[in-house]
């Protein structure tokens, strides 16, 4: 084992959907910095192009494409085209999510279906299409973003939490099905991260501060602090890791955090 290179991704091809901003953007940058050729895909095609351009300007290897993760046919076509063009697909990452924060009893049918369509349906499309390619080539690493909400919930997060728990279980099932064919599948669970998804919380100082104090570090996480988890699980350093969830939550799920007793 060459321990000095176990995290390197040289020669590998990665498809990262949701790479135009936030955690996806940071992850794309990190994958490229560690040697992967990264296909930066996003519904925001111009944003994806910007990120890919930044990567190449910095000496990395990247390309971009506009992609709607909720369009099953488009996802399948994109995955197959990338595999044909490069002769392989080693890493597939699904990062997009949306959230409608409101009590379950107030949810409309349209809101319910929209959150499921993006968070669970979109992830399904990528995992299925990329999983088929990887199973055929006998290797690969599939990653999707779950959340601490897959384990702990607060008012207004019921539907979002259900999709994140579903993402975790879908990956676990996929790990059991594709492991014998050399493909790994894992979830990453962020805590509260400063991204466009959490922008509404920043507008409420009390809400923002409460989330910061839930972390043992007393602050929110940054998108780049998720990138290491992506590189690790994508790399050969994680060659015996599948069907699991890696928490990057600042201790959110480990510590009660409501009261410090007088010890």
Residues tagged active-site:
160
> What count of residues does the chain have?
263
Edge-first strand listing for the sheet containing 37-42: 61-66, 37-42, 13-17, 91-94, 140-145, 183-190, 245-248
Distance of alpha carbon 19 from alpha carbon 240, whole angstroms:
27
Q: How many Cα atoms occupy the beta-carbon half-sphere of 171 within 13 Å? A: 31
- Which helix (DSSP H) or strand (DSSP E) does residue 175 occupy? helix 158-178
Decide: helix, strand or coil at residue 49: helix
> Residues 12, 236: contact at Cβ < 8 Å?
no
Distance of alpha carbon 193 from alpha carbon 26, whole angstroms:
12
Decide: helix, strand or coil at residue 36: coil
Give a three-class secondary structure readout of 54-110: HHHHCCCEEEEEECCCCCHHHHHHHHHHHHHHHCCCCEEEECCCCCCCCCHHHCCHH
């Amino acid at each position: 084992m060459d321990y000095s290179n176990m995290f390197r991704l040289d020669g590998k091809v990665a498809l990262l959907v949701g790479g135009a901003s936030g955690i996806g953007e940071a992850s794309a940058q990190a994958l490229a910095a560690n040697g992967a050729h990264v296909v930066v895909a996003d519904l925001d095609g111009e944003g994806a192009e910007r990120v890919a351009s930044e990567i190449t300007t910095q000496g990395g290897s990247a390309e971009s494409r506009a992609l709607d993760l909720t369009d099953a046919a488009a996802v399948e076509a994109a995955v197959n085209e990338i595999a044909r063009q490069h002769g392989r697909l080693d890493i597939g990452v699904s990062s997009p999510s949306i959230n409608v924060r409101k009590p379950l009893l107030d949810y409309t049918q349209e809101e319910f279906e929209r959150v499921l369509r993006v968070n669970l349906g979109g992830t399904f499309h990528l995992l299925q299409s990329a999983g088929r390619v990887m199973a055929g080539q006998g290797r690969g690493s599939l990653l999707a973003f779950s959340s601490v909400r897959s384990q702990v919930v607060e008012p207004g997060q019921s539907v979002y939490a259900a999709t994140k728990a579903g993402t975790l279980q879908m990956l676990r099932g996929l790990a059991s099905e594709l492991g014998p064919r050399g493909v790994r599948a894992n979830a990453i669970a962020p805590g509260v991260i400063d991204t466009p998804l959490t922008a509404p919380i920043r507008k409420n100082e009390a809400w923002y501060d409460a989330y910061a104090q839930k972390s043992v570090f007393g602050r929110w996480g940054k998108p780049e602090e998720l990138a290491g988890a992506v590189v690790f699980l994508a790399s050969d350093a994680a060659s015996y890791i599948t069907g699991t969830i890696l928490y990057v939550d600042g201790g959110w799920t480990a510590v009660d955090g409501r009261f410090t007793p007088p010890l």
